[in-house]
């Protein structure tokens, strides 16, 4: 026998066949496929004990209670907190995506100073000393009133702390961004007296007449509104939605009443006129020239006149007024979209007066006139001579929009320094270029932002704020809720970056300045300050996580001073020229204010709103004039122009262009910025005389094929 | 017929002729080749079956021996130590605090294993680093609650169905870890062929799916377990 080539062939084949029919092949295939799924560099979350900790979300004015799920102390999920008096277990998409803000690529990771056009990282000590030094110079120059502050809202301890800083410094120039709560407080002050606000008992009303309020699009406290809306069918309650566009709220309503953009106030007063002429009103506690009001309204807002301006037939207006008056528990709700920007006092006051005439003030299912919660008691701020002199000076403007206008209109700098906290005016206010120009005219801008957003980019120094998951803060829930709830946000995780609670940063600036300013800020930390100034409710606030300050139907019938409306204030006119009216739309999946929508939320936006990186505008097919569905177009207003895509939609009135708010961010965040157009670049502000509100709900525009 | 085709035809005919004619020497070579084939086949097949698992898995002894039978006799059924928490999560292997509801640093019995437990872990307040035979990979979400506390029959499974009669064991077998995947051998099952006699012999995805098809008529969707 001879061992030859064939023997080796046999050996090889035998070995191969033996392996092939043994379990080696199938087992190794399975194991190697598993092995490839477990590369050592694939991140695997650490396992550990699961805990839930309560806190409060302050991403929007909704102020929902949240429960943060943690594994081994690391937050992994946000859920709505069961039993919380605002949202009772519910949560919105921005809230559940809140963890993304912790690791957002545009987070300001450490204090920054602008050097030329670039930011450079500095230490906290250096940042505080730069700010304190600049501010000391302003006081030395004897112009303390030239320090201004813009805060996101006026409620809670943080705006109060900034206001206190201004008091001790010697400036009256505290401003807050437009908000639904601010608008409601202004309305309450106009009709019912200062110090009040208005809440709407949506969940007990059987007929909600919404003047464009986006009940399921972020108006008020969104989750509370979702819940009230969701229970509508089983309560046999009706919702009538009055707005130029078939929004999601309108689509889910019992009736959609299309109205010419910006004429909501006319309709509300027209309904008042019908109630008055048909004697369907309740003789409540009217003061301030009710006779004159009756005469003026019936004359100027007769159904035929209102038909002419609103486009709603006179007979429908009469029928609507009668239906409203005859319902068991009707309530009228003001505030287009989210009810914050582009609103006017005339509309808010008219809608609230409609509630008053229908006898719906302080009634179950109606509109509650409530005192603003007063749970903070600061000791009086110490003021030196400079502060006394400065504080006596007059405020530059009545509102933040007027302030921007005045700064731009003045030759000399009206403000030498500006603090911005919890606000992004360079994105949110209309005609953003005008806001940026005004910021450039302020020599020293300090931002307390968590993110390098459009406003932070205009700052000279950034004192980066910890996010709502990393800091303590009192969170009063306002925004149209029929109750008054104070919540407590607590740190759920140590700051991810080198950031501070803005309260701590402000206290440190005050202490670095010395003198009476330091005396006014004697607390070691913001936490200590909050505990001291909220002492009245601190025990229950810190133990329960929230305190319900007022709840249920308020007692008594509030006085209604109709002198503002009796004087028949002029309606705000739209600016510009063009065949179309461009209106800004609020979309629940985006945020028009701060912070910008999270990457998760952006991904949920429909391609009828954002297609690739292009904003999609809605127009009625009847006004298309050659524009094709999905085609590109150039939208132009007197403020500027932009390339957009067109969505032909019968759910918008002819002649109206709907364009979403919340897109077109320009800061460095690949997930959120560079998508679409900021509608505020196309619309300029129109300041309503008297209220100072920017009432620009839209602007005249043209739309041409690109 | 072209010249080339002619050649090709003849060529192949020649080849066939040669083969058919044969050579006695070649026959012997083939016979040896067959023997070699058989031997190699047998060696490789047996190695793949018997030797391969020994190479594939590394063996680890548990920190000390655990007598399930003794504990079930003393403490009660499985739920005494392995239970659903109030929030629906599964407690898994008891932690030291749970053991210390009965045990102290003084042994209750006389076994060597309990002595190790008391001295090394209870006295030093150190968690016992048990190897978990049934540990599923991180990518798998498994809810014990849905399988033992569910509403229908499928949701009222016995522990044994998946874990076998481990409650009757008196000693801890060595934990075998797959050197390639790092998974416990219990996932693939003891049988290297993947065959199973009992429902608890394997814990792979197909085993889950088979039971789901039987009980629910559908093997379920990816995201139900892979979240």
The nearest CA of chain A is from the CA of B181 a distance in Å of 5
Compute the distance between CA of residue A3 and CA of residue A153 in angstroms, rounded to an integer: 94
**Band of pLDDT at residue B27, cut at 50, 70 and 90:** low
Q: Name the segment(s) of chain A with CATH classification 3.40.50.740.
A: 112-175+402-471+494-536
Alpha-carbon distance of A432 to A683, in angstroms, equals: 9
Q: Which of A12, A18, A27 sits opposite B42 (nearest CB)?
A: A18
CA distance A359 to chain B (A): 48
Q: How many C-beta atoms lie closer than 10 Å to residue A314's C-beta? A: 17
CA separation for the pair A586, A697 (Å, rounded): 11
Q: Write b or e for each residue in A158-183: b if 16 or more Cβ atoms lie within 10 A of its Cβ, otherwise e.
A: bbbbbbbbbbbbbbbbbbbbbbbbbb
Q: Which of A310, A317, A353, A181 is nearest to A240 (CA)?
A: A317
Give the CATH fold of the A112-175+402-471+494-536 domain: Rossmann fold (3.40.50)
Strand A207-210 and strand A330-333: the pairing is: parallel
Whether the pLDDT of residue B8 is over 70: the answer is: no
Q: What are the residues whose beta carbons fall under 8 Å from the beta carbon of A579, sequence distance 6 or more?
A: A623, A655, A702, A703
- Give the max Cα distance, chain B: 101
pLDDT at position A42, please? 80
Q: Between the CA of residue B96 and those of B72, B91, B211, what are the distances in Å? A: 18, 12, 34
Per-residue pLDDT, B19: 41
B32 and A10 within 8 Å at the Cβ level: the answer is yes
pLDDT at res. A6: 81
pLDDT at res. B30: 62
**Looking at residues A654-659, what average pLDDT do you find?**
96
Handedness of CA B119, B122, B124, B130 (dihedral sign): positive
Contact between B194 and A23 using a beta-carbon 8 Å cutoff: yes
Q: Which of A634, A595, A304, A332 is closest to A480 using CA atoms? A: A332
Tens-digit pLDDT profile for residues B82-127 = 999 887 889 899 999 999 998 888 888 888 999 999 999 999 999 9
The Cα–Cα gap between A262 and A556 comes to 33
Mean pLDDT to the nearest integer, A647-673: 95
Which residues, at least 6 apart from B138, have a Cβ–Cβ distance to it below 8 Å? A44, A45, A47
Residues from chain B that touch A50, judged by Cβ atoms under 8 A, are 87, 89
- Residue A284: predicted pLDDT: 82
Q: Give Cβ neighbours of residue A246 (< 8 Å, ≥ 6 apart).
A: A256, A649, A651, A652
Residue A535 in this model has a pLDDT that exceeds 90: yes
Q: Calculate how close chain B gets to A486, using CA atoms only, in Å.
A: 28
Q: Where in chain A is the domain with CATH 2.40.40.20?
A: 580-705
A24 touches chain B (CB under 8 A): yes
Q: Which residue has the tokens 């009668």?
A: A322
Backbone phi, psi, residue A55, to 5°: -155, -170
Length of chain A: 706
Name the residue among A203, A86, A82, A218 with its Cα closest to residue A486: A86
Q: Tell me the shortest Cα–Cα distance from A544 to chain B, in angstroms.
A: 20
CB contacts < 8 A, A to B, total 107
Contacting residues of B for A36, CB less than 8 Å apart: none
- Residue with structure tokens 């409540």? A284
Res B150: pLDDT = 82
- Which pLDDT value is given to residue B86? 84
In the CATH hierarchy, which fold is given to the domain comprising A580-705?
A: Barwin-like endoglucanases (2.40.40)
B120: left (phi over 0), alpha (psi -120 to 50) or beta: alpha
pLDDT band at B7 (very low <50, low <70, confident <90, very high): very low
Residue A231 to residue A236: CA distance in whole angstroms? 9
CA B61 from centroid of its chain's CA atoms = 16
Average model confidence (pLDDT) for chain A?
94
Residue B11, pLDDT score: 43
Q: What is the pLDDT of residue B20?
A: 42
Please identify which residue in the block is written with the tokens 């943060």. A68
**3-class DSSP state of A149:** strand
Q: Which residues of B touch A45 (CB under 8 A)?
A: 138
Burial grade of A143 (CB within 10 A; 0-12, 13-18, 19 or more): buried
Phi, psi of A593 (to 5 degrees): -115, -135
Give the residue among A227, A282, A692 at the shortest CA–CA distance from A481. Answer: A227
- Please state, in angstroms and rounded to a whole number, the distance separating the CA atoms of residues A359 and A374: 28
pLDDT tens for A61-82 read: 999 999 999 998 999 999 999 9
Per residue in B80-118, is it b (16+ CB within 10 Å) or e — as a string? ebbeeeeeeeeeebbeeeebeeebeeebeeeeebbeebb
Q: Which long-range contacts (CB under 8 A, 24 or more apart) does A117-123 make?
A: A119/A452, A119/A462
Please provide the distance, in angstroms rounded to a whole number, between the alpha carbons at the two ends of chain B: 69
Q: Report the gap between the CA of A69 and the closest CA in chain B (Å).
A: 12
**Closest Cα to residue A337, out of A693, A672, A690, A662?**
A662
* pLDDT of A1 strictly over 80: no
d(CA B222, CA B215): 17
Give the mean model confidence (pLDDT) for residues A573-581.
91
In tens, the pLDDT along A285-322 reads 898 889 999 999 999 999 999 999 999 999 999 999 99
Is residue B170 within 8 Å of B69, Cβ to Cβ? yes
Residue-wise DSSP of A232-264: HHHHT-EEEEESSB--HHHHHSSEEE---TT-H
Quote the pLDDT of residue B9.
46
Residue of A123, A138, A127, A153 lying closest to A517 (CA atoms) = A138
Using DSSP, state whether A80 is helix, strand or coil.
strand
Contact between A15 and B34 using a beta-carbon 8 Å cutoff: no
Strands (DSSP E) contained in A58-184 are 65-71, 74-80, 112-115, 118-121, 147-151, 174-176
* Contact check, Cβ <8 Å, B25/A2: yes
Does any CB of chain B come closer than 8 Å to the CB of residue A44? yes
Confidence of residue A5 (pLDDT cuts 50, 70, 90): confident
Banded pLDDT at B33 (limits 50, 70, 90): confident
The pLDDT, as a whole number, for residue B5 is 47
Which value, in Å, is the radius of gyration of the alpha carbons in chain B? 29
Domain limits, CATH 3.40.228.10, in chain A: 202-365
Q: Is residue A447 scored above 60 in pLDDT?
A: yes
- What whole-number distance in Å separates Cα of residue A268 and Cα of residue A332? 9
Which candidate from A19, A23, A37 shows the least CB-CB separation from B193? Answer: A23
Cβ contacts of A17 on chain B, cutoff 8 Å: 37, 41, 44-45
Q: Which of A466, A465, A443 is nearest to A114 (CA)?
A: A443
Task: Provide the token pair at B26.
Answer: 């070649």
Centre a 10 Å sphere on the Cβ of residue A401 and count the other Cβ atoms it contains.
28
Specify which residues A330 forms β-bridges with: A207
What residues in chain B have their Cβ under 8 A from chain A's Cβ atoms?
Answer: 25, 28-49, 52, 56, 87, 89, 137-139, 178, 180-183, 188, 192-194
Model pLDDT, residue B26? 52
Contact status, residue A324 vs residue A332, Cβ threshold 8 Å: yes
Mean pLDDT of chain B: 85
- CA dist B146 and B43 (Å) reads 47
Percent of chain A at pLDDT above 90?
90
Note the pTM of the prediction, 2 decimals. Answer: 0.82
Cα distance between residue A75 and residue A96, in whole Å: 12
Strand A74-80: give its sheet, edge to edge.
A50-56, A65-71, A74-80
Spell out which residues of chain B touch residue A3, defining contact as CB-CB under 8 Å: 32
Cβ atoms of residues A674 and A663 within 8 Å: no
CATH architecture of the region A202-365: 3-Layer(aba) Sandwich (3.40)
| Mean pLDDT in residue range A29-40 | 89
């Amino acid at each position: 026998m001879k061992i030859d080539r064939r023997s080796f062939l046999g050996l090889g084949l035998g070995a191969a066949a033996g392996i092939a029919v043994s379990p080696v092949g199938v087992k190794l295939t399975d194991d190697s496929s598993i092995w490839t799924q477990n590369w050592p560099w694939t991140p695997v979350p650490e396992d550990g004990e699961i805990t839930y900790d309560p806190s409060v979300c302050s991403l929007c004015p909704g102020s929902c209670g949240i429960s943060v799920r943690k594994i081994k102390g690391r937050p992994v999920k946000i859920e709505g907190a069961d039993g919380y008096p605002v949202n009772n277990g519910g949560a919105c998409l921005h809230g559940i995506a809140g963890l993304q803000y912790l690791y957002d690529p545009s987070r300001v990771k450490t204090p920054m100073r602008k050097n030329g056009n670039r930011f450079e990282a500095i230490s906290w000590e250096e940042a505080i000393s730069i700010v304190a030094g600049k501010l000391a110079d302003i006081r030395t120059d004897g112009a303390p009133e030239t320090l201004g502050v813009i805060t996101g809202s006026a409620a809670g301890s943080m705006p109060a702390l900034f206001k206190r800083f201004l008091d001790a410094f010697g400036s009256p120039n505290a401003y807050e961004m437009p908000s639904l709560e601010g608008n409601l407080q202004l309305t309450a002050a106009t009709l019912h007296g200062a110090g009040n606000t208005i809440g709407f008992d949506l969940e007990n009303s059987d007929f909600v007449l919404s003047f464009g309020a986006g009940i399921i699009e972020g108006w008020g406290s969104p989750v509370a509104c979702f819940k009230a809306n969701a229970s509508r069918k089983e309560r046999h309650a009706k919702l009538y939605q009055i707005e130029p566009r078939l929004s999601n709220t309108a689509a889910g309503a019992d009736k959609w009443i299309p109205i010419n953009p910006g004429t909501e106030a006319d309709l509300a007063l027209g309904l008042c006129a019908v109630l008055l002429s048909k004697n369907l009103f309740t003789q409540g506690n009217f003061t301030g020239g009710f006779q004159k009001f009756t005469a003026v309204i019936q004359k100027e807002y007769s159904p035929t006149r209102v038909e002419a301006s609103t486009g709603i037939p006179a007979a429908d207006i009469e029928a609507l007024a009668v239906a409203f008056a005859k319902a068991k528990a009707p309530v009228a709700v003001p505030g287009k979209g989210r009810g914050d920007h582009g609103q006017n006092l005339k509309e808010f006051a008219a809608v609230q007066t409609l509630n008053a005439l229908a006898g719906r003030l302080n009634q179950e299912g109606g509109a509650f006139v409530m005192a603003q919660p007063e749970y903070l008691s600061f000791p009086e701020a110490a003021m030196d001579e400079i502060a006394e002199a400065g504080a006596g000076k007059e405020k530059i403007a009545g509102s933040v929009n007027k302030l921007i206008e005045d700064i731009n209109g003045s030759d000399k700098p009206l403000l030498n320094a500006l603090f911005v906290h919890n606000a992004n005016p360079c994105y949110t206010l209309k005609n953003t270029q005008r806001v940026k120009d005004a910021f450039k005219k302020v020599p020293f801008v300090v931002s307390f932002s968590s993110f390098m957003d459009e406003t932070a980019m205009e700052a000279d120094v950034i004192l980066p704020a910890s996010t709502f998951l990393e800091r303590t803060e009192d969170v009063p829930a306002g925004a149209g809720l029929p109750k008054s709830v104070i919540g407590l946000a607590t740190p759920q995780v140590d700051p991810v970056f080198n950031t501070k609670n803005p309260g701590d940063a402000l206290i440190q600036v005050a202490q670095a300045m010395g003198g009476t300013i330091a005396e006014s800020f004697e607390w070691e930390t913001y936490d200590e300050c909050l505990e001291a100034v909220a002492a009245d409710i601190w025990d229950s606030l810190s133990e329960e996580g929230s305190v319900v300050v007022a709840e249920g139907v308020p007692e008594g019938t509030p006085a209604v001073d109709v002198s503002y409306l009796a004087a028949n204030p002029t309606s705000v006119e739209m600016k510009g020229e063009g065949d179309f009216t461009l209106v800004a739309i609020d979309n629940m999946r985006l945020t028009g204010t701060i912070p910008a929508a999270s990457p998760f939320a952006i991904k949920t936006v429909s391609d009828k709103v954002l297609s690739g990186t292009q904003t999609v505008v809605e127009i009625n097919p009847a006004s298309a004039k050659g524009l094709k569905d999905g085609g590109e177009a150039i939208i132009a207003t007197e403020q500027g122009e932009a390339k957009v895509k067109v969505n032909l939609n019968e759910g918008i009135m002819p002649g109206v262009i709907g364009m979403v708010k919340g897109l077109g961010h320009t800061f460095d965040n690949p997930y959120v910025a560079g998508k679409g157009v900021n509608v505020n670049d196309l619309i300029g502000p129109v300041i309503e005389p008297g209220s100072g509100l920017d009432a620009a709900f839209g602007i005249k525009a043209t739309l041409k094929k690109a | 017929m072209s010249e080339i085709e002619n050649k090709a035809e003849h060529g192949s005919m020649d080849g066939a002729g040669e083969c058919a004619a044969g050579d006695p020497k070649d026959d012997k070579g083939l016979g040896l080749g067959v023997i070699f084939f058989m031997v190699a086949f047998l060696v490789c097949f047996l190695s793949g079956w018997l030797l391969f698992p020994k190479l594939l898995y590394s063996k680890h002894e548990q920190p000390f021996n655990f007598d399930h039978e003794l504990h079930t006799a003393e403490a009660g059924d499985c739920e005494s130590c392995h239970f659903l928490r109030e929030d629906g999560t599964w407690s898994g292997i008891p932690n030291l605090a749970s053991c210390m509801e009965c045990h102290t640093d003084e042994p209750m019995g006389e076994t060597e294993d309990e002595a190790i437990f008391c001295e090394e872990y209870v006295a030093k307040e150190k968690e016992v680093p048990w190897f978990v035979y049934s540990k599923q990979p991180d990518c798998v979400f498994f809810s014990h609650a849905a399988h033992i506390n569910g509403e229908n029959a499928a949701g009222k499974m016995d522990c044994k169905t998946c874990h076998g009669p481990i409650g009757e064991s008196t000693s801890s077998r060595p934990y075998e870890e797959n050197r390639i995947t790092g998974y416990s051998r219990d996932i693939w099952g003891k049988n290297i062929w993947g065959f199973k006699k009992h429902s608890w012999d394997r814990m792979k995805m197909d085993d889950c799916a088979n039971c789901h098809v039987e009980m629910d008529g559908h093997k379920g969707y990816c995201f139900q377990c892979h979240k």
